[in-house]
Structure 1
Amino acid sequence: MKSNHATRLVRTVFAATLCSLATFAAHAQSSVTLYGILDSGVEYVTHAARQGSGNLFRVNTGNRINSRWGFTGKEDLGEGLRSIFTLESGFATNNGTSQQGGRLFGRQAFVGLESDKFGAVMAGRQMTPMYRFSLALDPLNYSSYGLSAQDAQFVGRADNALEYLGHVGPFELNALYSFGYDSTIANGGQVPGEFRVGKQFDIGGRYRQGPFNLTLVYEQRRGTSVASSGDSERRYLAGGSWAIGNATLYAGYELLLNDIVATLTASPPQTMAFGGLRYKVTPAFQVSAASYYHIFRTVSAHAISTGVNADYLLSKRTTLYADVTYVINSTKSALSATGSTTPVATGANQLAVVVGIAHTF
C-alpha cells in the first residue's frame, strides 16, 4: 500500500511539474531556431584574370545566395518587450572554409532588445542599412551577379556596431553607428585618442505599402588609419520597386564618393543606375532580368552589366537556378561580372554563367 501511495505521489508531482513548465514556456514564449542555406553550382567565367586571358571553369559556392548556418532566438520579457540574438556563420560549400575574413560568426553576431512599440536596439556585428534595405531592390534577387557584384557594400557588415531598427505604419527606419567597422585590419577597430579612425555611420528609410517600395540610404565610412581618418567613403542610394500582377519592376541609383586613397581601387568614385524586372511564370518558375550601368568619375570610364536569372522550385526548400551575365567595359573600365572574386583586365568584356542548386533548412 505504501509503495502504491508513493508511486501515485511521484506521478502527481511529476505531472504538476510538467504542467508548470508548460505554463511557464507558454507565458515566456521563448524560442531558439537553428537554420541554414546550402548553395553550390558549376560556374564558367571568361577573361578571368587581370591580364585579360584565361577562362575559368569551377565549382563555386553562394552563386544565388551565400551558404550559411546560424542560431536566432528571443525571450519574451513581458509588456511587448523581448530580448533577441543572432549568431550566423558564412561558409563555402565547395571547400568548407569560413567566409567574411575567417570569422566564426562573420555574417551576424549580435544581441539586443526588441519592443512592439519602439523597435529594436542591437549591439555586435551586423548587416548595414544598405544591405538590409537593398535586398528588396535587386532585380537579380541578390545573386552573385546582382547588386553585390556592382559594389561590395551592398552586402556590407560592420563590427562593433550599435543599430536601431523600427517602423511606424508603412515607414521603416534603420540607423547604425560603428566604433570600428572592420576589426580584422590594422586600426580598423578602435584607436585610443583617435575618435574618427574606422568609424561608420549609416541611416536608411523606406516606405512599403501594398505593391510599392521606396528606399533611401546614406552610408559613411572613415579611413582606417590615423592619417586617413579625416577622409571617407560616402554612398547615397535611392531605389524602389512596384509589383504589378505576376511582375515586379525595379529601379535604383547609387552615388559613391571616395577620398580614401587606400580604398580607391576597390571603391572607385562612380555613379550607377540600375533597373530590371522579375516575373513569376508559374508558382514554381520565375525569371529575372536587369542591367547595371556605371560611370566612373575619375577615369572617364563606363561599364554595363546585364544579367538574366531563372529559378525553378523543386519544393519550398530546394531551388534549381541558372544565371547568365555579360559585362561590357570601356577602354579604362575593369568591372567584373562577379565582383572581386574574378578580376578582369581593363577594357576586357566578361561572360559569367552558373547553374546550381540551393537548399534551405
Structure 2
Amino acid sequence: MKKTLMVAALTGVFATAAHAQSSVTLYGLIDAGLTYTNNNIVPGSGGSGHSNWKATSGSVNGSRWGLRGSEDLGGGLKAIFTLENGFNIMNGTNSQGGREFGRQAFVGLSSNQFGAVTLGRQYDSVVDFIAPLALTGTQYGGTQFAHPFDNDNLDNTFRVDNSVKYTSANYAGFKFGAMYGFSNQAGGFANNRAYSAGVSYNYGPLNVAGAYFQSNNAGTVNAVTGVQTAGAVTNDQTPFASGRQRIFGGGLNYAFGPATVGFVFTQTMFDNGVGLTNVGTQGLGSVGLGNSARFTNYEVNGRYNLTPALSIAGNYTYTDSRIEGEKPKFHQFNLQTAYALSKRTDVYLQGEYQHVTDTDGLPGGATINGVGIASSNNQVSATVGMRHRF
C-alpha cells in the first residue's frame, strides 16, 4: 500500500513538472561581407558618382541575436516570447534606430489547436506570408535583392510597434493571420495606425500566399522644406513618409526535386505627401516625391541545390512606378551562389544589376537596395561574404 502511494505521489510530481516545463534559446546570425558598387553618388558633390568598395553587414540577412522562450501551460497551450536585436557587425552598433530589440519584441500565448496571439513589436502580414516566396528577405538574396527602395517591405525594412497579432494553426496546409498596430495617442486612434492580414496554402510542392497592409499617417512631408518625418507606428528606417501607405500582393512557389521556381506580385501605393526617408547618406538631403506615388513589382525567381552544400539562386524584377505623373521603370537582375562549410556556416557570392528609365521624379538614378544611389541609370554591385548561425 505504501509503495502504491509513493508511486502515485511521484507520478503527480512529474506530471506537474511536465506541465511547467519551459525553455529559453539563445540564437543569432552574423552576415559580413565586402561589397563593390560601380557607381554611388558622392556625398556633397552635387550628384556626381564614383565607384565604391566597402565592408558591409547584412548584405543578405541582417545580423542579429535573440532570445526565444516558451513555457508549457498544459492542454496544448504555451506562453511564448521573442526578443531579437539587430546590429551592424562592422561597427558594433544597434540597428533599427538604435533599439535594444529592434527586430522583434513580443510575448503571447500559443495553442496547438487555435494558433497564437502575440503583443509587441512585430512583422506585418506581408512580411509573414508573401516575403518567404520572394528571394529578398530570405537566405537566397536578402537585402540587395529587394524591390526598389524596399517599397513593399518584403525585406523587413520596418516593423510595426504597439501591435497585436493573430497567427492561426496549420489546418491541412491552410494558414491565415492578421495584425493591428495601435497609435497609442489620445484622440488619434485612426490617424497613426497600421493593420494587415494574410493567408497561405501549402499542398505538397506548391505554396501560395496573399496579404494586405495599410498604414495611416506613415510620416509627414513638409510642403516647404520637403523634410520627411516617419510615422510613430513604423518609426524606424521607413523608406517612405506619406499620409497613407497601402501594400497588397501575392505569390506562389513550386518545388520539384532540388529546384524551386516562383512568382511574386506586389503593388505599393502612397498618398497625401510622399518623400524618401533613406537617402540622407547620399548627400541629397530630403527628397520629396509629390503627393502620390505607386510601385508595381513583378518578380520571377528560382533556386537550385547543385549539391547538398552548394546552391544557386537568381531572379528578375520589373517595377513599374508612377510618381506625380512620371513613370520610372526599374529592371533588376540578381544572382547568388552559396557554399555551406558546415550546418551553421556558409560563404556566398552574389551580384546585382539594375537599369532604370524615365527617372524624372527620382533622386539620382539606379538604386540597388542597401548599396546607395547611383548618379546614372545603371548600377552594378557584387558582394563576397560569409554567414554564421548560432
Quick one: distance in 2 between partners of 1:66 and 1:144?
A: 8
Q: Tell me the equivalent position of 2:172.
A: 169
Quick one: distance in 2 between partners of 1:100 and 1:25?
A: 39
Matches within 5 A, 1:119-198: 119-139=115-135, 141-147=140-146, 151-152=150-151, 153-154=153-154, 155=156, 156-167=158-169, 168-180=171-183, 190-198=184-192
Q: Is the Cα contact below 8 Å between 2:327 and 2:358 reproduced in 1? A: no
1:218 aligns with 2:209: no
Cα offset, 1:132, TM superposition: 1.7
Q: What whole-Å deviation, never above 9, does each CA across 1:274-309 have from its counterpart, x for those lacking one?
A: 101100000000000101101112311201111100
**Which of residues 280, 295, 298 is equivalent to 1:273?**
298
Structure 2 residue identity aligned to 1:330: T
Q: Tell me the equivalent position of 1:259.
A: 271
Q: What whole-Å deviation, never above 9, does each CA across 1:306-353 have from its counterpart, x for those lacking one?
A: 1100010000000100110000011416441124x51223x5211110
Distance 1:55 1:122, change over 3 A: same
Cα offset, 1:226, TM superposition: 9.0
Matches within 5 A, 1:8-19: none
Runs of 5+ in structure 2 lacking a partner? 1-9, 223-230, 232-241, 279-288
Q: Is the Cα contact below 8 Å between 1:42 and 1:59 reproduced in 2? A: yes
SS at match of 1:101: helix
Distance 1:53 1:225, change over 3 A: closer
Q: What whole-Å deviation, never above 9, does each CA across 1:65-93 have from its counterpart, x for those lacking one?
A: 11100100000111111100000000000
Pick which of 295-304 and 305-314 moved more: 295-304
**Which of residues 312, 315, 320 is equivalent to 1:287?**
312
Cα offset, 1:128, TM superposition: 1.2
Quick one: distance in 2 between partners of 1:148 and 1:110?
A: 28
Larger Rg: 1
SS at match of 1:109: strand
Q: Is the Cα contact below 8 Å between 1:258 and 1:269 reproduced in 2? A: yes
Q: Is the Cα contact below 8 Å between 2:147 and 2:317 reproduced in 1? A: no
TM-score by length of 1: 0.86
Q: What percent of counterpart residues are identical? A: 33
1:43 aligns with 2:35: yes
Quick one: distance in 2 between partners of 1:227 and 1:58?
A: 32
Q: What whole-Å deviation, never above 9, does each CA across 1:195-215 have from its counterpart, x for those lacking one?
A: 222200100111112111111
Two-structure CA RMSD over aligned residues (Å): 2.5
**Which of residues 312, 319, 322 is equivalent to 2:349?**
322
Q: Is the Cα contact below 8 Å between 1:277 and 1:289 reproduced in 2? A: yes
Q: Is the Cα contact below 8 Å between 2:19 and 2:73 reproduced in 1? A: no
Runs of 5+ in structure 1 lacking a partner? 1-17, 181-189
**Which of residues 295, 306, 316 is equivalent to 2:333?**
306
Structure 1 residue identity aligned to 2:317: Y
Matches within 5 A, 1:328-347: 328-332=355-359, 334-339=365-370, 341-345=371-375, 347=376
**Which of residues 196, 201, 204 is equivalent to 2:195?**
201
Quick one: distance in 1 between partners of 2:12 and 2:351?
A: 57
Quick one: distance in 1 between partners of 2:295 and 2:87?
A: 31
Structure 2 residue identity aligned to 1:61: S
SS at match of 1:270: strand
Quick one: distance in 2 between partners of 1:52 and 1:338?
A: 19
Q: Tell me the equivalent position of 2:6.
A: none
Q: Tell me the equivalent position of 1:34.
A: 26
